[in-house]
Amino acid sequence: MYICSMELKNDLLLRAAKGEKVERTPVWLMRQAGRILPEYRKVRASVSGFIELAQTPELAAEVTIQPVDILDVDAAIIFSDILVIPEAMGLPYEMIEKRGPRFPETIKSKADVEKLSVANVEESLSYVTKAIQITKKELNGRVPLIGFAGAPWTIFAYMVEGSGSKTFSKAKAMLYTDPELSHQLLQKITDSTIAYLKAQIAAGADLVQVFDSWAGILSHQQYKEFSIPYLKKIADAIQNVPKTVFAKDAHAAFSDLSKLDYQTIGLDWTMNPVEVRDIVGANKTLQGNLDPCVLYADKASIRKHTKKMLEEFGAGRHIANLGHGVYPDINPDHVKYFIEAVKGFSVK
């Protein structure tokens, strides 16, 4: 089959990421695929669960495109999960209904780390690259497609802890008790992640985002030692598309993050765009950061808070988003109010 390279009809996201002129601020939502849409739940109900859905490329493509059709966002993000990487390295995960991910086996020792392989992406993650190819074809250039991966520290946290946690104390303890082994594991995750992101780009991803969802539980010294160097390796290895890094709650990391080769830096809702701009300088694009809970409020409040957020970021070098993923019980109409407000108010 011949897939011709397509011109994008809407490339606002890519232009904003590169710091080029845009007619208005682009907007998409973290976790826009799945969760909130009844149309997603219908597809989800036709399979055994999240993992089967993510591993069925035609269905993954279908739910990736739903928010573009229904919400009119300026980008699609491929339907998958950050935890496909540990699985491809030899540590499979389960997704427990309404509770989240769980690893039946966790990493505790040097022998456990040595047993893991660097992911053979072509073999074990071809379902993601196939889903990307199908999505690109079906999008037909309407909007860019975002590929993604977890940051090495966040993936490490799940692999050692075995599930979500308030403190991730097992994972943090390993950083203190065996830094050498921790670096060995982080390096294996990094090598897997670089291969994975390259494969996503080769399949058609137009921009990639690295999610450091558990950045905020590390001390700033730990973040400097155990996250920043691996984020740097990823940024340096991936050169042909714009890159975004989102380090949730990492208030002390902006100066270090701004020195890495990511064009866009994500902000959660606790962060002040004016202060962050001061630290990172004019040559970065900022993404975010409406509090997801604003979307529980009425239309007038959503409009008011969205306008305020856009004013704080100011004209140019901004990609509008929430400060974290959209919550599952948000009314899709309220998401539409947010998207329409960005399009209506954005600083020209």
Q: Measure the CA–CA gap between 109 and 297, rounded to whole angstroms.
A: 48
- 153 belongs to the binding site for ligand CP3 (CB under 6 A): no
CB of 283 to ligand CP3, least distance (A): 26
Smallest separation (angstroms) from ligand CP3 to the CB of 83: 6
Q: Is 31 annotated as contributing to ligand binding?
A: yes
Closest distance to ligand CP3 from the beta carbon of 211 (Å): 4
141 binds ligand CP3 (CB under 6 A): no
String marking each residue 74-113 x if it binds ligand CP3 according to CB under 6 A: ---x-xxxxx-----------x----xx------------
Catalytic residue among 11, 15, 40, 44: 44
Instruction: Please report, as residue ranges, which positions from 207 to 246 form the binding site for ligand CP3 (by CB under 6 A).
Output: 211, 213
Residue 158 annotated as catalytic = yes
Residue 59 found at the interface with ligand CP3 (CB under 6 A): no
Q: Quote the least distance from Cβ 117 to ligand CP3, whole Å.
A: 22
Task: Write out the binding residues for ligand CP3, residues 242-271 only, by CB under 6 A.
Answer: none
Query: Hey, which residues are catalytic here?
Result: 31, 35, 44, 81, 158
Binding stretches for ligand CP3 (CB under 6 A): 30-35, 44, 50, 77, 79-83, 95, 100-101, 148, 164, 211, 213, 325
